[in-house]
Amino acid sequence: MTQLASTIRALTFDVFGTVVDWRGTISEEGKDWEIELDWAALADAWRAGYQPAMARVRSGELGWTRLDDLHRMILDSLLPEFGLTGLSEEKLAHLNRVWHRLRPWPDAVEGLTLLKQKYVIATLSNGNVSLLTNMAKNAGLPWDCILSAELAHRYKPEPQAYRTACALLDLPPQQVLMVAAHEGDLRAAAAVGMPTAYVHRPLEYGPHNPKSWPQEGFDVMAQDFVELAALLAG
Amino acid sequence: MTQLASTIRALTFDVFGTVVDWRGTISEEGKDWEIELDWAALADAWRAGYQPAMARVRSGELGWTRLDDLHRMILDSLLPEFGLTGLSEEKLAHLNRVWHRLRPWPDAVEGLTLLKQKYVIATLSNGNVSLLTNMAKNAGLPWDCILSAELAHRYKPEPQAYRTACALLDLPPQQVLMVAAHEGDLRAAAAVGMPTAYVHRPLEYGPHNPKSWPQEGFDVMAQDFVELAALLAG
């Protein structure tokens, strides 16, 4: 670990699920909407549309489309099922921006603040730049820099998304640690030469669908961002 | 002013000369190099090479080249004149990165911190993303987001540099206030529809070359960032 800690110069973070709790936030915010609805089920269905929507961009069926717009397409397709067809355009636009308002996991701000003392910390998310900027402002996430798949016009796990981020940081991939709660994201980062840190977020998909600790090993394995900072301190 | 203050959502800032004092920092850092040299003159000559170097990129003579690399090309061309041909590659690389270490004007951090309470604040500089990220970390500049000509592969004052920044913020140009100490930068921003704020930095080119207050009017005119924040508060 000491070797890795002295090699790396920057950390790039997956955001949805790794830094912020999308399911918990959407469920919680639902209480304020005063609409009888299983908000956790809406969150799950919305998120379930995420990979298929990005696949349409990756395949070329859709030209480059920002995640805000993909989120809206998915939301529109879910309105009948969830009885939300009566919402005004203004309310739908506000609902769609719930992804800008996601709350960090309890350890995230403290861990990022510790890591920032020693390293450049940046997002590397499929979320668009404005989404990530608004989220950081809202949640107090202390990023040094907002990087996004939008800057490559390629969604993770396409290699160009990772390579563009390293190039913008002016660092070789070997000096940029990819941090994520998702094994596929880390495998794709490793394929371009980045070291990898797995952070466990067992409740990402809710208390009834706990994620298990991965079978596979990554360069760093941590329970949360505070432990990650401790592991990289020495 | 109240109208403008309630229309805009984000401020984008020119950086060299507007946020940080390039000439003062290079002159000051020169003292630590223990080399008999007119460091202010080196700073002036280095900066004088900036527009011609970018013109070579704009004209297509050079492909897209990051500002770090343009700075190095200019520096290399100045080495004989300033008696620096004996420096090691390591020292030259460190010297070239003085642009990452530039110090903010005394009001900059306070003013940005005030403006950040109400608006998204972002860089919009010809400096590359890594340069601006390192500078912010070193100087404590509290940007919400690092935007750069590098993300458009077009140097200011080309319109695409401004348009790309507004698009990444997901805001129409009318809602993004361009802040600069340079009239040409502001005129180019106005040409794409951005409102403009002139901030006076009379000592940018040194005490013997004070800049005068512009003849031309801009939407906001301020002596420094703290005054800018006060003007946009009400």
Within 10 angstroms of residue A54's Cβ, the number of other Cβ atoms is 20
ipTM of the complex: 0.96
Q: Model confidence over A122-168: pLDDT tens digits?
A: 999 999 999 999 999 999 999 999 999 999 999 999 999 999 999 99
Q: Model confidence over A168-190: pLDDT tens digits?
A: 999 999 999 999 999 999 999 99
Measured between beta carbons, which residues in chain B are less than 8 angstroms from residue A144? 133, 136-137, 146
CA–CA gap between residue B160 and residue A130 (Å, rounded): 18
End-to-end CA distance of chain B: 8
Read off φ and ψ for residue A189, nearest 5 degrees.
-65, -45
Residue A165 burial (10 A CB sphere; 0-12, 13-18, 19+):
buried
Distance from CA of B231 to the nearest CA of A (A): 22
When CB atoms are compared, the residue of B128, B130, B170 closest to A130 is B170
Q: Which domains does chain B have, with CATH numbers?
A: 2-21+102-231 (3.40.50.1000), 23-100 (1.10.150.240)
Q: Residue A30: what residue type?
A: G
Say if A174 is an interface residue toward chain B (CB within 8 Å): no
* Strand-pair category, B176-180 with B10-13: parallel
Distance from CA of A218 to the nearest CA of B (A): 27
Within 10 angstroms of residue A35's Cβ, the number of other Cβ atoms is 16
Please provide the average confidence, as pLDDT, over all residues in chain B: 96
**In sequence order, what are the beta bridge partners of B197?**
B179, B220
Say if A4 is an interface residue toward chain B (CB within 8 Å): no
Say if B144 is an interface residue toward chain A (CB within 8 Å): yes
When CB atoms are compared, the residue of B122, B136, B151 closest to A151 is B151
Measured between beta carbons, which residues in chain B are less than 8 angstroms from residue A136? 144
Residue B216 pLDDT > 90, yes or no? no
Residues 6 or more apart in contact with residue B77 via CB below 8 angstroms: B49
Q: What is the percent of chain B where pLDDT is above 90?
A: 94
When CB atoms are compared, the residue of B66, B133, B170 closest to A145 is B133
Residue of A66, A71, A119, A129 to mutate for B, most B C-beta atoms under 10 A: A129
The CA-based angle A122-A128-A129, given to 5 degrees, is 55
Which region, left, alpha or beta, applies to residue B76 given φ > 0 means left and ψ of -120 to 50 means alpha? alpha
CA–CA gap between residue A3 and residue A220 (Å, rounded): 12
Rounded to two decimals, what is the model's pTM? 0.97
- Do the beta carbons of residue A183 and residue A216 sit within 8 Å? yes
Question: What is the b/e burial string over B162-174, where b = at least 16 CB atoms within 10 angstroms of the residue's CB?
Answer: bbbbbbbbbbebe
Quote the pLDDT of residue B222.
97
Residue B1 pLDDT > 90, yes or no? no
Residue A27 pLDDT > 70, yes or no? yes
Residues 6 or more apart in contact with residue B14 via CB below 8 angstroms: B124, B125, B156, B178, B179, B180, B181, B182, B185
- Do the beta carbons of residue B64 and residue B53 sit within 8 Å? no
Contact A168 B68 (CB under 8 A): no
Read off φ and ψ for residue B20, nearest 5 degrees.
-120, 155
Count, residues in chain A: 234
